[in-house]
């Protein structure tokens, strides 16, 4: 099946798409019997260094309900200058600009290698990127210091014309005005009071052109910019100001009595940040970056009271329905997340604390808006510092690896409907002919909004075959799917990336082998895992496990070869062989098991699982274990204690954590200092090899994994 593997890999590289099935069962009934749904993992902004964007706008199908984009799969009549839409079969005239079109003079979007193509839209004024820092000041001094330094450092990484804003919070919430000379100014809000967006905007003076403190010269045309600019300023203008301001940030001054937690108004701070952007820059790319060092302890969104003797909720409490604040807090943050998403902004959470910080309640903020969630022990760790730094990393073109305010539209040919998506997105509730009634993940729509995304952001998109059994598709027929992603590029351009893919239909009865062979078990495992994790958010853990088991059994039933009553006779074809193993690991993964994990950790893991691409997802499901020894080159070994040998070094990558484990003998050698002796240089190399590999992983991964080093005494 090398060909299919290559095909899959090729497709992934070109289009950023991996289907669970690469040959599609041609009827609804057959499709449902395949157990694993027809679905794909889509990485909308997969980096394509070889794909320069075209500088014009796409040609749309003229049928109002279709509006598919001209693509290589369309039939073109060069003479008549007509093209037929491959989704609705509408025949369309080329626009006048295409007058010179011919077989030998094709526009890029018609060439097969441009099944994925990116258009740059020239219309509309570019709007700057916005970064709004929301900073917790209830931190230990060294933590705060480290955070301040990180933030100051980040200023130098931001695009110079980006707008930045600063909100700090503790017992109160302060919105800092950045353009003041001689006096630093901030608006202060009580941390206990839930305010509506309108109230917030009123209080910040955003609703009226004439602000009390705003110099009022005769009606200024640029009133609006000046209003919003009080809180959000181009970085190049207020670089120094903001650096000083950050430098002067003090710990929350309110006394924290013995036995109490500091009062932390995260909920209100976030609400104000959302309200501020909502009032000033709706539908413009913006990141709200929340840095918090502990759980919200007051006001709306509080997760735990300030009594230290009452610990923050655990899974146990949640099961016992003993988490008093959880529901209310969750509701608060969900409301915020939905508003943020509606405005096209995203929320990042950087939570660094030894204890939980309420990610469980707040998870929806990054989850629904495509923001990042980073969890660490302290801001004063390289884990946080480097992770944070990596957010501002740039691609080969010198552009930030981030995009904003994307909408993803899925169009399907008639035999298919789209059932839903799982990933950092929210539904835009666009009904259409290609929307399935059955929902998998976030469904009921053909468009989703992804407020923040990067080149690795990956969504699982689930389809339903709707073709009836009695209406067979002619041999050689292909089903097509078009993914259209509108987004704001980090260069502030609006862009549209279009990916059009097609797969063959096959009749299950006659061509099951084909279909089997075209099964992508890795993609399938991840897609099923996403479904499982998605369910786990709302259902009891055991139910999800049972469902997974049932699916696995059904799959094996369908595709396994076995003799009844003879377990030993069970065989799965190569294309399925790894799937049960993935499921095994998935069952015991932290994505589905909460034992030994705090609710925050579970939320954290699930967050990342729902947005990473296939490779990373697989690592999460089934950690990689490499062995290094003098017996040969590094090799993967079983995830089993039997893999621990005295003369081996093991490197385990669980995505969130990298562990290097020295075998007993190796450890003794190392202790004896052989690595420093010239004659044992090979030992030095052996010690170094896993470190180098780990370093490589560390360099590439976001968020930075934790690196642990074990060696038995």
Partner 1 sequence: MNVNQSAPPVPPFGQPQPVYPGYHQSSYGGQPGSTAAPTPYGAYNGPVPGYQQTPPPGVSRAPASSGAPPASTAQGPCGQTAYGQFGQGDVQNGPSSGVQMQRLPGSQPFASAPLAPVVSQPAVLQPYGPPPTSAQVTAQLAGMQISGAVAPAPPASGLGYGSPTSLASASGSFPNSGLYGSYPQGQAPPLGQGHPGAQPPQRSVPPQASSFTPPASGGPRMPSMTGPLLPGQSFGGPPVSQPNHVSSPPPQALPPGTQMTGPPGPPPPMHSSQQPGYQLQQNGSFGPARGPQSNYGSPYPGAATFGSQPGPPQPLPPKRLDPDAIPSPQLNELPPQQKTRHRIDPDAIPSPIQVIEDDRNNRGSEPFVTGVRGQVPPLVTTNFLVKDQGNASPRYIRCTSYNIPCTSDMAKQAQVPLAAVIKPLARLPPEEASPYVVDHGESGPLRCNRCKAYMCPFMQFVEGGRRFQCCFCSCINDVPPQYFQHLDHTGKRVDAYDRPELSLGSYEFLATVDYCKNNKFPIPPAFIFMIDVSYNAVRSGLVRLLCEELKSLLDFLPREGGAEESAIRVGFVTYNKVLHFYNVKSSLAQPQMMVVSDVGDMFVPLLDGFLVNVSESRAVITSLLDQIPEMFADTRETETVFAPVVQAGMEALKAAECAGKLFLFHTSLPIAEAPGKLKNRDDRKLINTDKEKTLFQPQSGAYQTLAKECVAQGCCVDLFLFPNQYVDVATLSVVPQLTGGSVYKYACFQVENDQERFLSDLRRDVQKVVGFDAVMRVRTSTGIRAVDFFGAFYMSNTTDVELAGLDGDKTVTVEFKHDDRLNEENGALLQCALLYTSCAGQRRLRIHNLALNCCTQLADLYRNCETDTLINYMAKFAYRGVLSSPVKTVRDTLITQCAQILACYRKNCASPSSAGQLILPECMKLLPVYLNCVLKSEVLQPGAEVTTDDRAYVRQLVTSMDVAETNVFFYPRLLPLTKSPIENTTEPPAVRASEERLSNGDIYLLENGLNLFLWVGASVQQGVVQSLFGVSSFSQITSGLSVLPVLDNLLSKKVRGLIDSLRAQRSRYMKLIVVKQEDKLEMLFKHFLVEDKSLSGGASYVDFLCHMHKEIRQLLS
Using CB under 8 A as the criterion, which residues of the chain lie in contact with partner 1 when the complex forms? 172, 174, 180, 182-190, 193, 195, 202-205, 210, 212-213, 215-217, 244, 248, 250, 253-255
Q: From the CB of 391, what's the least distance to partner 1, in Å?
A: 29
> What are the tokens at 668?
């003794």
**Cα–Cα distance measured from residue 700 to residue 691, given in angstroms and rounded to the nearest whole number:** 14
- C-alpha to C-alpha distances, 537 to 33, 327, 358, 540, 545, nearest whole angstrom: 26, 14, 16, 8, 13
Q: Tell the burial category of 339 from Cβ atoms under 10 Å away from its Cβ (0-12, 13-18, 19+).
A: middle
**Cα–Cα distance measured from residue 452 to residue 404, given in angstroms and rounded to the nearest whole number:** 5
**Chain length of the chain:** 713
Give the residue with the Cβ less far from partner 1, 5 or 188. Answer: 188
Give the residue with the Cβ less far from partner 1, 189 or 534. Answer: 189
Instruction: Check: CB of residue 467 under 8 Å from CB of residue 27.
Output: yes
**Cα–Cα distance measured from residue 126 to residue 204, given in angstroms and rounded to the nearest whole number:** 26
Verify cis geometry, omega within 30 degrees of 0, for the bond prior to 703: yes
DSSP state of 202: H
Q: From the CB of 342, what's the least distance to partner 1, in Å?
A: 25
Give the residue with the Cβ less far from partner 1, 195 or 502. Answer: 195
Give the residue with the Cβ less far from partner 1, 201 or 629. Answer: 201
Q: From the CB of 686, what's the least distance to partner 1, in Å?
A: 55
> What are the tokens at 606?
């699930």
Give the residue with the Cβ less far from partner 1, 205 or 460. Answer: 205
Q: From the CB of 589, what's the least distance to partner 1, in Å?
A: 46
DSSP state of 85: -
Give the residue with the Cβ less far from partner 1, 227 or 548. Answer: 227
| Nearest to 604, CA basis, from 315, 278, 302, 358 | 358
| Nearest to 270, CA basis, from 400, 158, 357 | 357
Q: From the CB of 188, what's the least distance to partner 1, in Å?
A: 3
Q: How many CA atoms lie within 13 A of 538 on its CB side?
A: 6
**Cα–Cα distance measured from residue 389 to residue 407, given in angstroms and rounded to the nearest whole number:** 27
Give the residue with the Cβ less far from partner 1, 124 or 215. Answer: 215
Give the residue with the Cβ less far from partner 1, 254 or 709. Answer: 254
Q: From the CB of 219, what's the least distance to partner 1, in Å?
A: 12
Q: From the CB of 607, what's the least distance to partner 1, in Å?
A: 33
Q: From the CB of 190, what's the least distance to partner 1, in Å?
A: 5
Give the residue with the Cβ less far from partner 1, 247 or 712. Answer: 247
Give the residue with the Cβ less far from partner 1, 104 or 183. Answer: 183
SS3 string, 50-68, reads CCCCECCCCCECCCCCCCC
Q: From the CB of 244, what's the least distance to partner 1, in Å?
A: 7
Instruction: Check: CB of residue 487 under 8 Å from CB of residue 495.
Output: yes
Instruction: Check: CB of residue 519 under 8 Å from CB of residue 576.
Output: yes
Give the residue with the Cβ less far from partner 1, 180 or 318. Answer: 180
> What are the tokens at 661?
């484990």
Q: From the CB of 207, what's the least distance to partner 1, in Å?
A: 11
Handedness of CA 14, 17, 21, 24 (dihedral sign): negative
Instruction: Check: CB of residue 271 under 8 Å from CB of residue 333.
Output: no
**Cα–Cα distance measured from residue 710 to residue 680, given in angstroms and rounded to the nearest whole number:** 22
Q: From the CB of 358, what's the least distance to partner 1, in Å?
A: 23
**Cα–Cα distance measured from residue 584 to residue 567, given in angstroms and rounded to the nearest whole number:** 18
What Rg value do the Cα atoms of the chain yield, rounded? 27
Q: From the CB of 231, what's the least distance to partner 1, in Å?
A: 11
Q: From the CB of 212, what's the least distance to partner 1, in Å?
A: 4
Give the residue with the Cβ less far from partner 1, 139 or 556. Answer: 139
- Measured in whole angstroms, the distance separating CA 503 from the mean position of its chain's CA atoms is 27
Q: From the CB of 306, what's the least distance to partner 1, in Å?
A: 17
Give the residue with the Cβ less far from partner 1, 8 or 144. Answer: 144
Q: From the CB of 45, what's the least distance to partner 1, in Å?
A: 40
**Cα–Cα distance measured from residue 336 to residue 7, given in angstroms and rounded to the nearest whole number:** 43
Give the residue with the Cβ less far from partner 1, 71 or 168. Answer: 168
Helical (H) or strand (E) element with 213 = none
**Cα–Cα distance measured from residue 359 to residue 349, given in angstroms and rounded to the nearest whole number:** 8
**Cα–Cα distance measured from residue 485 to residue 155, given in angstroms and rounded to the nearest whole number:** 29
**Cα–Cα distance measured from residue 444 to residue 456, given in angstroms and rounded to the nearest whole number:** 25
Q: Cα 40–445–516 angle (5° rounding)?
A: 25
Give the residue with the Cβ less far from partner 1, 207 or 389. Answer: 207
Helical (H) or strand (E) element with 525 = helix 521-538
Q: From the CB of 434, what's the least distance to partner 1, in Å?
A: 48
Instruction: Check: CB of residue 226 under 8 Å from CB of residue 332.
Output: no
Give the residue with the Cβ less far from partner 1, 100 or 255. Answer: 255
- Measured in whole angstroms, the distance separating CA 328 from the mean position of its chain's CA atoms is 25
φ and ψ of 696, to 5 deg: -65, -40
């Amino acid at each position: 099946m090398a060909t299919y593997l290559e095909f899959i890999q090729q497709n992934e590289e070109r289009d950023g798409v991996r289907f669970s099935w690469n040959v599609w069962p041609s009827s609804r009934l057959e499709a449902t019997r395949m157990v694993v749904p027809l679905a794909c993992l889509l990485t909308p902004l997969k980096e394509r260094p070889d794909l320069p964007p075209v500088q014009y706008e796409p040609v749309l199908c003229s049928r109002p309900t279709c509006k598919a984009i001209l693509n290589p799969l369309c039939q073109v009549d060069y003479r008549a200058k007509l093209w037929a839409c491959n989704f609705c079969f509408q025949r369309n005239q080329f626009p006048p600009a295409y007058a010179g079109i011919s077989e030998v003079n094709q526009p890029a979007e018609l060439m097969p290698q441009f099944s994925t193509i990116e258009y740059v839209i020239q219309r509309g004024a570019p709007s700057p990127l916005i970064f709004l820092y929301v900073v917790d000041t209830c931190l230990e001094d060294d933590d705060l210091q480290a955070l301040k330094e990180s933030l100051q450092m980040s200023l130098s990484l931001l695009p110079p014309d980006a707008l930045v804003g600063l909100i700090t919070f503790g017992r109160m919430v302060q919105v800092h005005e950045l353009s003041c000379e001689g006096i630093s100014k901030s608006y202060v809000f009580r941390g206990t009071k839930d305010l509506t967006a309108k109230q917030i905007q009123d209080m910040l003076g955003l609703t009226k052109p004439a602000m009390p403190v705003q110099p009022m010269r005769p009606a200024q045309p640029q009133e609006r910019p000046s209003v919003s600019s009080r809180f959000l300023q181009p970085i190049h203008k207020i670089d120094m100001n903001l650096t000083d301001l950050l430098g002067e940030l003090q710990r929350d001054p309110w006394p924290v009595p013995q036995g109490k937690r500091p009062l932390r108004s995260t909920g209100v701070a976030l609400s104000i940040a959302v309200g501020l952007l909502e009032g000033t820059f709706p539908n413009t790319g913006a990141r709200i970056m929340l840095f918090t060092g502990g759980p919200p302890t007051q006001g709306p969104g509080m997760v735990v009271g300030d009594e230290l003797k009452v610990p923050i909720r655990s899974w146990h409490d949640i099961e016992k329905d003993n988490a008093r604040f959880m529901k209310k807090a969750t509701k608060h943050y969900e409301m915020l997340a939905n508003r943020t998403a509606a405005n096209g902004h995203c929320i990042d959470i950087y939570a660094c604390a030894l204890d939980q910080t309420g990610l469980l309640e707040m998870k929806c903020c990054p989850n629904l808006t495509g923001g990042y969630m980073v969890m660490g022990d302290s801001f004063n760790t390289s884990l946080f510092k480097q992770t944070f730094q990596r957010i501002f990393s740039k691609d080969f073109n010198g552009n930030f690896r981030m995009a904003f305010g994307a909408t993803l539209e899925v169009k399907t040919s008639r035999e298919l409907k789209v059932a839903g998506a799982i990933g950092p997105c929210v539904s835009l509730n666009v009904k259409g002919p290609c929307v399935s009634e059955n929902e998998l993940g976030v469904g009921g729509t053909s468009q989703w909004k992804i407020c923040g995304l990067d080149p690795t952001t990956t969504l699982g998109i689930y389809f339903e075959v709707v073709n009836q059994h009695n209406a067979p598709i002619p041999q050689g027929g292909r089903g097509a799917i078009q993914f259209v992603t509108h987004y704001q590029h980090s260069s502030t351009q609006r862009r549209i990336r279009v990916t059009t893919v097609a797969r063959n239909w096959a009749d299950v009865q006659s061509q099951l082998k084909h279909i089997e062979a075209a099964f992508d078990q890795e993609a399938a495992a991840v897609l099923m895992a996403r479904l499982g994790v998605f369910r786990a958010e709302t259902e009891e853990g055991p139910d999800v496990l049972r469902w997974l088991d049932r699916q696995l059994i059904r799959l094996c039933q369908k595709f396994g070869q076995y003799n009844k009553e003879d377990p030993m006779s069970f065989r799965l074809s190569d294309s399925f062989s790894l799937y049960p193993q993935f499921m095994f690991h998935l069952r015991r993964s932290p994505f589905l098991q909460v034992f030994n994990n705090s609710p925050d950790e579970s939320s954290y893991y699930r967050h990342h699982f729902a947005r990473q691409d296939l490779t990373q997802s697989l690592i999460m499901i089934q950690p990689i274990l490499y062995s290094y020894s003098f017996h040969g080159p590094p090799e993967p070994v079983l995830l089993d204690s039997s893999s621990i040998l005295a003369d081996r070094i093991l490197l385990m990558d669980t995505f969130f954590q990298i562990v290097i484990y020295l075998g007993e003998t190796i450890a003794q050698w190392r202790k004896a200092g052989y690595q420093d002796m010239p004659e044992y240089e090979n030992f030095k190399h052996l010690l170094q090899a896993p470190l180098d590999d780990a370093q490589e992983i560390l360099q590439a991964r976001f968020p930075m994994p934790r690196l642990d080093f074990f060696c038995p005494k």
